[in-house]
Amino acid sequence: MPKAIQIDQHGGPEVLKFVDVDVAAPGPDEVRIRQHAIGLNYIDTYYRTGLYPSPLPHGLGFEGAGVVEEVGASVKRLKVGDRVAYGQSPLGAYAEVRNVPAHQLVKLPSWISFEQAAASMLKGLTTQYLFRQTYRLQGDETILFHAAAGGVGLFACQWARALGVKLIGTVSSPEKAKLAREHGAWETIDYSHENVAERVLELTGGKKVPVVYDGVGKDTWEASLDSVQARGLVVSFGNASGPVTGVNLGILAQKGSIYVTRPTLGTHVATAEKLQAAADELFGLIKSKDIVVQIDQRFPLSQAAEAHRALESRKTTGSTIFTLD
């Protein structure tokens, strides 16, 4: 029987159980995939803890790559043997074999490996929508991006460099600062001991930035509001330090008519066409080597709990994948 990670209660990494699972035949619009690599993402920890609630028991994970084993009766675009990947799916990517709705899959170009795809579909497509849809960067801008040495962070550093955008990245150590710079960050701020808003003011000659991308949440929210220009945009897209709650909207007026948005990847790749367009842009940058997919950690799927501990204790950099072979 195929194996998968399941949880039957919310909690710490110890609730992740590596168990035998029965995988049903794919529904009419689904495809059954034998997976070769799976991506770890911070969002997986939110579902594990229950911060994002889902009825128990359930699997975990949204990102993976593998080979089509069976297609549902209505699926025309894909066939058995196709190499495919996804970064947005029903919960359950932490599995050897699984079913995914066909419209959430892209066919992989031959030059991209399963590991590269599983490390970039969620993080790279997130960077695509953040930089090209939520606030369309043009180049010649200076922006602030939190957790710049993380999974999404290293895509963001490289994508910004490719666009000619100066990315100021926050990090928590000198090693992470070096990594972010090597991947294209223009400047870094170590938010473990530097004042982010003051440094942004210095680095921008008093102008601040037109857009802040904040996946850290609770701990950086205030600094984000203080770093953005009047009528600028704060894109709050994650909660690595905890969710932002209890905001008095009046603060946006006080800081200068600030805009705030809280986007998700799912709403940006909701159709096969939108997903393909975003993936084409991402794959183009990987092919041209403007973006190198940085896989810094690999764990066997059976050790998913260890991977969660590493991610939550800020020990990881770049992408982390689960291996299956």
**Which of 255, 239, 259, 205 lies closest to 52, judged by CA?**
239
- For ligand NDP, the closer of residues 105 and 311 by Cβ is 311
The answer to whether residue 42 forms part of the interface with ligand NDP (CB under 6 A) is yes
Q: Which residue among 9, 261, 264, 302 contacts ligand NDP (CB under 6 A)?
A: 264
Per-residue binding string, ligand NDP, 269-308, x by CB under 6 A, is ----------------------------------------
Provide the edge-to-edge strand list for the sheet that holds 209-214: 187-190, 166-171, 142-145, 209-214, 228-236, 259-261
Q: Which residue among 21, 113, 312, 323 contacts ligand NDP (CB under 6 A)?
A: 312
The answer to whether residue 221 forms part of the interface with ligand NDP (CB under 6 A) is no
| Segment interacting with ligand NDP, rule: CB under 6 A, options 135-143, 222-230, 262-270, 293-301 | 262-270
Size of interface with ligand NDP, in residues (CB under 6 A)? 30
The answer to whether residue 176 forms part of the interface with ligand NDP (CB under 6 A) is yes
The answer to whether residue 169 forms part of the interface with ligand NDP (CB under 6 A) is no
Query: What is the C-alpha to C-alpha distance for residues 211 and 214, in angstroms, rounded to an integer?
Result: 10
| Burial (Cβ within 10 Å: 0-12, 13-18, ≥19) of residue 99 | buried
Query: What is the C-alpha to C-alpha distance for residues 165 and 188, in angstroms, rounded to an integer?
Result: 14
The answer to whether 130 touches 237, Cβ cutoff 8 Å, is yes
Per-residue binding string, ligand NDP, 110-149, x by CB under 6 A, is ------------xx--x--------------------x-x
The answer to whether residue 86 forms part of the interface with ligand NDP (CB under 6 A) is no
Number of neighbours of residue 12 by Cβ within 10 angstroms: 13
Pairing of strands 3-7, 58-59: antiparallel
Buried b (16+ CB within 10 A) or exposed e, 301-321: bebbbebbbbbbebebbbbbb
Buried b (16+ CB within 10 A) or exposed e, 26-36: beeebbbbebb
- For ligand NDP, the closer of residues 172 and 303 by Cβ is 172
The answer to whether residue 68 forms part of the interface with ligand NDP (CB under 6 A) is no
Nearest-approach distance from CB 265 to ligand NDP, in angstroms = 4
Query: What is the C-alpha to C-alpha distance for residues 113 and 197, in angstroms, rounded to an integer?
Result: 40
Number of neighbours of residue 178 by Cβ within 10 angstroms: 14
The answer to whether residue 216 forms part of the interface with ligand NDP (CB under 6 A) is yes
Cis peptide before 2 (omega within 30 of 0): no
Residues 2 to 41 in contact with ligand NDP, rule: CB under 6 A = 41
Residues 181 to 210 in contact with ligand NDP, rule: CB under 6 A = none
Nearest-approach distance from CB 28 to ligand NDP, in angstroms = 28
What residue ranges bind ligand NDP (CB under 6 A)?
A: 41-43, 122-123, 126, 147, 149-153, 171-172, 176, 215-216, 219, 237-241, 263-265, 311-312, 314, 316
